[in-house]
Every structure is written in C-alpha cells, then in structure tokens.
Structure 1
Amino acid sequence: MTQLGVEKPTTTLSSELTAERLLSRGQSVGGAVAGAVIVALLTLSAFGIGPSLLRWGQLAVAAVTVIYVVVIVFKLAMVFRAGGAPTLRFEPEDLRAIPDSDLAVYSILVPLYREASVLPYLVDRLSALDYPADKVQILLLIEEDDTETRAALTTMELAAQFEVVIIPDSPPKTKPKACNVGLARATGEFCVIYDAEDRPEADQLRKAVLAFRLLPERVVCVQAELHYWNPWTNWLTRCFAAEYATNFSLSLRGLDRHRLAIPLGGTSNHFRTDALRELGGWDQFNVTEDADLGIRIARRGWDVRMMVSVTEEEANSRLGNWVRQRSRWIKGYIQTWLVHSRHPLRVWRELGTKRAVAMHLTLGFSTFTTLVNPIFWALFASYLITGPKYLEPLFPPLSLYAGLATMVLGNVLMCYCLMNGCMERGLHRAMRAMLTVPLYWGLMSVAAYKAVFQLLRPSKRHFWELTEHGLVSHEPA
C-alpha cells in the first residue's frame, strides 16, 4: 500500500460548464424579465385588460397537462424501445480474447467518507477482481478530516495496488472533487468509479477493456448496470430496486438505442482516461456529477454505451436516509439542467434537435412534474371533497379529460414499466409492491422540494448529503 500526502484537486473545466453559480447572468436576467411580464399580464387581467385571470389559469393547467403527457410518453418510449438496443454483451470465453499480458493498466477511483464499517468488505471485493494485480491501480480517496476511515486503514494490510490519497479539507466537500484528485494521479489507460458499498462482477474490468477495444474512439465511456442486492429488506427497497432495474435495464438502453445523451450512474462508469481529462474531469460543484458528465460527453460529439455487467449496491432501507440521497440526486439534476440551459442555441447545435429535446425531458421537465405532482393531487382531493363547482372553471373539457387520462392511464402505464423492470431483473416478488408505487412517487416529491429549498440557500447549494451505508448486513430470505 502507498500512502500519499494531501493532494490538491485539478480541473480544467470552464466556469460556464460548472454549477458553482446557480444561474448565469443571462438566466438571471431572462428569469427576471419573464417574471415581470407574468406579473404585468396578471395585473392587467385584474383590471379587466386582456384575458381574464381565469383564462390564464386555464392556460397554465393546459400547459402543465401537455408537459405531463410529453414526459410520460417519452419515458414509455424509452422503456418499450429498449429491446432493440445494441447493448454490449460478452460471454466468458470472449474475455480470453485479450491475453493478460495485453490488458491495459486500469485505475479504480474509490471516493470514501466515513466508511470505516464497510471498508474491509470493499477491500476484499476489489482484491477479488479478475484482473492482473500488477495492472490495477486502486486509489482510495479519503477526506483529510475523515479520521474514522483513516484510523481504520491503519489496522489493515493492503496490497501493493492500493494507494491512499488524502483529499484536502476545503470547500466544496463533494465526491467529484475527490474524483478529480484521483484522476490527476491515475496512471491507467482506463479508469472506473466504484462506491464504498459496490459489489462489481469480478470480470467487469475485462469486459470494459474488450468493449473499448471493439468500439470506435468516439465511445469514451461504457456504463455498467447498477442493481441492489437487498430488494427484500422492506417496501422502500422493493420500490427502489424496481426503479433501478427499470432505469438501467430498460430506460438507459432505450436512450442508448436512439443515441441520446445518457445521464451516467454514479458508479461503474468506465472511461478512457485521456478523454476524461480532455473533458475537464468532473464538475466539483455538481452533486450529480455523473449525469452532468454524460451530457458533456454528448455535447462533445462523443458517445456512451451500455454494457451488460452488474454492480450491486445497497438500497436505502431507511426513509430519512433515502430522502437525503434522493434530494441530492434531484438537486444535481436541476443543477445539470440549469448549466446546460445557459446557452440554448449552442447546446442545440452541439447536441442536435433530438438529443437536446431528450436532455430537457430527462433532466428538467421530469423534475418539474415531480414538483407539480402534489399540487395536482391536492386539486384532485379537493374535487373529491367539495365537488366540481370550485375547480370546474379551471378545467375546460379538453384539459379535464386529458388530465384525467394522464393521471389514470399514465400511472397505470408507469406501474407497468416498473413491473417490466422487475421481470427483467427477476424481482418477481416485488411486483405486488408496484401497486402502491404512487406512494413512492409522493416521497420523491418531498425530496424534490427539499432539493429546491437547498438550491435557494447558498450555504446548502453544493452541500453533499452523505448516504449512510452498511444499514443491512444481510438480505432477508
């Protein structure tokens, strides 16, 4: 084991591509102008000039309904079109096409913070990877103030391929900052991110190397599938596992099939190291640096491909822990969407129409519907309690029928998609839980509002809410 001193992060990422600022100057001015125009129109309406306030309300309801329909149709299309995706699959005999002597040096970046309890298991899993030990560089990225994990390391005997890198105790204290430090020290032709609780398939590095050898140079990242090893802990983990199964086994494959920008998962994404450095590494201010990097890869004209190789993770089994993690993900999605909406025309030229529309539907509008859900649920509850007389004026027949169809049919179809994800991953016992999944979506809305409130507070904007691991030591039968 090699122990290195405190390392400073290095990045060449342009300030225009980071989430250090919530809004660019143009976004701030545009938002202020739009807000002023809306206030002015509503004020004029109050004095009887122009469309009435009721008419504006009807238009707002119609617009939100259209967004709902488009988002649901897009999600369904990605799931149902996943079957024809050219996902990379390798059989065991394929992996011996490259002799051990010809395998590339591989760097594994493992950002850790307060992970002393799972550290021994992590080291065992990484040591068991089916890859020549002299061609693996494993960088354990430890925060300078993490005395707990550092103390645990002193009691362990680590093999020569392990290197301990100390991350400086300075803002922002985020995973991508640690990864940038690791990237500066990486010596491998390829590199991958693993989290503390990850259980990658033993042959995953070999599969990634073979994939890169077969694919054109423009493919700079190969994303493995993430799944949970503890779906049966409770209702929350069942829903979480079904969501992950649907996302990685269906939705992302649909994006891959249509060559759309893929928002990467936070782990098990394998990179050509030189290309990653050319991209500027990760945005240290973005709390879903993975999704952001997927968009930047697409803007550069490069590609991400999906690979059939599973990394298992621990699903959150405690509600508070789940909300903290999900609010961070949603906050990062909003950050990513805002960053890549700063220059709409430039992004449109770089991505093309199809990819640009898909990016907005994946990041921005999907989050918008999560935020609006409670409002429409409240309106529906009010309708049931008080009858139609108060709400009927807001819902002309077309909006009313479209909204009802979206709520009923959309929910049914999304439940069906999750059931498909369960079947794809063999989670048949979880299918019954999908009948109650609207409650899970309600929890997502709670996390979404928490994310928005944190974004509005500068002190919490880049705050990395830690996910506690090791909550489940074994999986119930």
Structure 2
Amino acid sequence: MLPFFTKILYLIFNVTNMITTIDDIVAAYNVAWASVNTYNLYPMLRSSKATDDPTEKELNTFRKEYWGKLDKMTILVPAYKEQKTLYSCVKAINESSYPKSKLEVIILLEKDDTSTIEVANRIASKFKNVKSIVVEDEVNKKGKPRALNYGLKMATGDVIGILDAEDMVSKDAFIRTAYMMQNKDYGVVQGILDMVNEGDGWKNLMLRAEYGYWFNTYLKALKRADYPLPFGGTTNFFRKDTLQKLGGWDSNNLTEDFELGMKIFANNSKIRENVRKNAGKLNTNGNASSEDPIKLGIIRSVTREESPPTMKGWMRQRTRWQQGKIQTLRKEMNDDQLSLRTKAHIFFSSVQPHISVINLTGIGISVYAYLDKALSLPVEIVAGFNAVMVAFYATMNAAGYLWVTKPEKETIKYRHLKAVVTAVTLPAYWAMQWVADMKALKLEYIDKSNVWYKTEHFGRHIDDRQLEKTLAEDMHPATVNNSDNK
C-alpha cells in the first residue's frame, strides 16, 4: 500500500493536471481551503455537553470524602536559565489547596546553568517537598522533553504534573485534577493557560487573545468532537502508569506536548479499532477482549504565564512550535498501524497551526479572482463560505480576549477596543506566523537542524518584582511552613 504522503501527492498531481485557468486555480484552492475550514468549524457546531470539571459544591464534597486518600502528585518543573521566576513558581505550587504531604516538586536543571541551580538549591532548603535535580542524560540533546523523561524516572507520585518555571498555577488546579482522576477515572487532564503580559505590545495582546479562544473554547470543542487534543506545554497532568505505557515524551521532538497529544489520540484510535475487530470474541481468560482508551479532561483552573516580550523571542518560540508539529506529522504518518481516518485527523491537527498561510493565500487568490470577475457561481459560493470563516476566526479571536480578561474587566482600559484590534489585525498576526512557518520548514528540511531555542522569561507577570529581595527574606528558615492546607 502506498504511503500516506504518496497518496496525497498523487491526488495533488491529478488535480493539478486539470487546472488550466485562473478560475480553476481559485476553485481548487477554495475547495481545499473549505475542507480545512469545515474541519475546524465542525467541533464548534457540536452540541455543548456538561463538563466533568467539578462545581464548587462537588469539589467541596470530594475534599471531605477523599482528603485522607488523595493521590500523591509529582510536579515536574524543567528550569533552564529561570532564576528570575523559579521561586515564585514553586511558591505558588506550595500555596495550592492540595496537602503538601501529597505534593512532590522536582526541579529539573542543567549542569551548565549555575545561577538557576543556586536558586533551586535555596528553594529546596526552604520547602521539604522540593527536590533540586541536575539532569544526567548525555545521550539526548538538551531540551524540555529530555528533562521530563529524566524526571519521570525520579518521580514517586501516582500523578505527574508539568509546570514551566515561569508559571503561576492557580490554587485549585491540583485538587480539581485529583477529582477528575480519582472520581471520574481520567488519565490526562489539561488546565487553561493565560498569557497575561499584554502590555508588552501588540503581539502579546494577540497571543493573549489567541490563547483565550484556544483554551477557553476550542480545546473543549475538540474534546467534544473526539478530535485529537493538542496539550499545552504546561499545566497538564497524567496518571504515571499512563505516561509509562506511552513511553513518556519524545526527547527529539521540539513540541513534546503536541506530540504526546497526537500519540494519545493514535493510541486511543488503535484501541477502539481493536475493540471493533474483536467484538464478541473472548480472550484466554474468557473475558471480552478490550482495553479502555485514555480519558482526556479539561479543568477550568487558569495558569498565568508570560509571553515573549521581544519580536526575536516570539519568532524563535513560534518557529520551534511549528517545526515540532512538522516532526510529529512525519512520525505519525509513518505508523502503518494507524487507519486512514486517524492519519487524516492528525494531518489536519498538524496543519491547523499553519492555517495562517492557508488563510492569507486564500484571501489573496480570491480577492484577485473577484476583481478579475473570473469566479463562476459555485466557486463564488465556496469562496463566500471561506470569507465568512475568516470573519469567524477574527470574531473568535476577539471573543477569546474578552473571555480571558473578564475577571479584569474593571481594571483593563479600553478592553472592548482591544478586542476589536485583535479581530481587525488578525491577518497581520497570520503574516507573522507565516514567517515562522517558513523558518520552521527551512530548519527541518534544508538545515536539518533540531535545536531547542530557549524562550527567555523576565517575570513581568509576577506581582513581586523585587525577586532578589524576596529570595533573601522569604526563604529564611524561620519562615518555612510545611503544614498541609485543609
């Protein structure tokens, strides 16, 4: 059987041979564009279902019933050149509503990062549940997934949580995760991320709106539609046995979070296919031959993060994300055990981050054709649908900003005007992403480079700016408090 990509190229070749006029080009592109837009729209049209994320009443009942038998959690905190933000991150973890006796924090460090190692050691001397560990893995290249796999071996918790070293996690994230896993049997839980330093410029405003839409709306829609669920790089939690079964993270992938999400989708698809094939059959124990797919959940807890304040930092981060998605797509498409349907889902999920290129090209082609009066009626209808989808994306971007900033509506000046800006200037933001796409393609296919470019953080989202003073005063042994929160 021909590989998946060969089939795609064969189809494109045949379609290309039929294109002879500008009308044909516009028609072909708009049909392809419409297929991507339809795929993206479908989850949003699914009827809304009640979430398994608990209400406050349910959470309080869970606390009373499970407080003495909560799972132990290990929170992995990869930290490279994060001396400015690390203490605030760990402090927020220990100020959560989860009992400290059931929280293990492992800070994962690199041997050449002496400044962060020094801070991490001071933090470990304050909090009894914190371990400062230098990663000893000389086989894999330096990067976050390499550190996470090393930390997984050291973890003693039943649940593994991931937090970036600049994160300010909400107080209820861990208890909500425990509710989902112990009360609802979820294997993976994802929290909401919010990039809060919108004051650093237009691109930071746009990134906050993008995250607002993605985590508050679209991620939940993907779950309802049983689409692949791309994880955020932080505030995700896994049953330890689930992670071990999956083999942990891909140490060579530049977006280990996205790759793991696609891996879980592929795993669940294989399980469902096996169940379908073996329906009615019994295994050697006389039981029905089946294995349960991994349940994925989303909690409402918000983790506050900092987006890159400089254009260089934004571009390097986005390029790494795009390159990692290319790597994931290539890996999953080569899995002969996956059905065509599963590969199609992973293909569209991997193309989703590159939709900026598709949208901008489609807008340009369609505008040219409209001005040239080359469109036939059927093509006009398809192009009209795509134009509506561009407006839909812009509206959702504005809505995402309004949703995520709702708790701050009394303090943010010109909030609704900012929302309008995020909608109107979305094409310009797509253009920036297009540049990142091109860089990612060059790095992956021409340079064949697989370097993890570090995103620098400055602590703009941390209330206490006098970090050195805080470290000196708040980490004094006399201030240590390791009692459980109840």
Shorter-chain TM range is 0.7 to 0.9
Give, in whole Å, the separation in 2 of the partners of 1:78 and 1:41.
Answer: 28
Give, in whole Å, the separation in 2 of the partners of 1:335 and 1:96.
Answer: 42
Q: Count how many residue pairs are aligned between Structure 1 and Structure 2.
A: 423
Specify the SS of the correspondent of 1:455: helix
Give, in whole Å, the separation in 1 of the partners of 2:63 and 2:444.
Answer: 49
Q: What is the identity percentage for the equivalent residue pairs of Structure 1 and Structure 2?
A: 25
Structure 1 residue 129 corresponds to structure 2 residue 115: no
Give, in whole Å, the separation in 2 of the partners of 1:451 and 1:250.
Answer: 27
Deviates more, 1:80-89 or 1:334-343: 80-89
Give, in whole Å, the separation in 2 of the partners of 1:257 and 1:122.
Answer: 32
The residue correspondences of 1:99-248 to structure 2 (distance < 5 A) are 99-156=66-123, 157-167=125-135, 168=137, 171-216=140-185, 219-248=186-215
Alpha-carbon distance, 1:286 to partner: 1.1
Structure 1 residue 454 corresponds to structure 2 residue 443: yes
1:371 alignment partner AA: V
Specify the SS of the correspondent of 2:20: helix
1:205 alignment partner AA: F
Give, in whole Å, the separation in 2 of the partners of 1:205 and 1:111.
Answer: 18
Alpha-carbon distance, 1:132 to partner: 2.1
Give, in whole Å, the separation in 2 of the partners of 1:379 and 1:255.
Answer: 30
Alpha-carbon distance, 1:127 to partner: 2.3
2:131 alignment partner AA: E
Give, in whole Å, the separation in 1 of the partners of 2:349 and 2:169.
Answer: 27
Give, in whole Å, the separation in 1 of the partners of 2:55 and 2:444.
Answer: 42
Given that 2:23 and 2:369 are in contact with CA atoms closer than 8 Å, whether structure 1 keeps it comes out as no
For 1:348, the equivalent position in structure 2 comes to 339
For 1:424, the equivalent position in structure 2 comes to 403
2:318 alignment partner AA: R
Q: 1:183 to 1:415 in 2, by over 3 A?
A: same
For 1:333, the equivalent position in structure 2 comes to 325
TM-score by length of 1: 0.79
Given that 1:108 and 1:191 are in contact with CA atoms closer than 8 Å, whether structure 2 keeps it comes out as yes
Deviations 1:26-79 (A, max 9, x none): 578x49x948995x998xx8xxxxx5x625x76554333222112223323333
Deviations 1:168-205 (A, max 9, x none): 35542221111000001111011100001111111211
**CA RMSD of superposed structures (Å):** 3.1
For 2:287, the equivalent position in structure 1 comes to none
Give, in whole Å, the separation in 2 of the partners of 1:411 and 1:260.
Answer: 22
Give, in whole Å, the separation in 2 of the partners of 1:172 and 1:62.
Answer: 45
Q: Which of 355, 362, 371 in structure 1 is aligned with 2:357?
A: 371
Alpha-carbon distance, 1:425 to partner: 2.5
Q: 1:359 to 1:89 in 2, by over 3 A?
A: farther
Specify the SS of the correspondent of 2:244: helix
Give, in whole Å, the separation in 2 of the partners of 1:266 and 1:472.
Answer: 19
TM-score by length of 2: 0.78
Given that 2:170 and 2:303 are in contact with CA atoms closer than 8 Å, whether structure 1 keeps it comes out as yes
Alpha-carbon distance, 1:465 to partner: 1.6
Given that 1:230 and 1:237 are in contact with CA atoms closer than 8 Å, whether structure 2 keeps it comes out as yes
Q: Which of 236, 249, 258 in structure 2 is aligned with 1:282?
A: 249
2:382 alignment partner AA: A
Specify the SS of the correspondent of 1:305: strand
For 1:402, the equivalent position in structure 2 comes to 382
Deviations 1:289-324 (A, max 9, x none): 112211222222222111221111112332221111
Given that 1:261 and 1:359 are in contact with CA atoms closer than 8 Å, whether structure 2 keeps it comes out as yes
Give, in whole Å, the separation in 1 of the partners of 2:385 and 2:459.
Answer: 38
Structure 1 residue 469 corresponds to structure 2 residue 457: yes
Given that 2:180 and 2:297 are in contact with CA atoms closer than 8 Å, whether structure 1 keeps it comes out as no
Specify the SS of the correspondent of 2:227: coil
Given that 2:140 and 2:146 are in contact with CA atoms closer than 8 Å, whether structure 1 keeps it comes out as no
Q: 1:224 to 1:154 in 2, by over 3 A?
A: closer
For 1:265, the equivalent position in structure 2 comes to 232
1:303 alignment partner AA: K
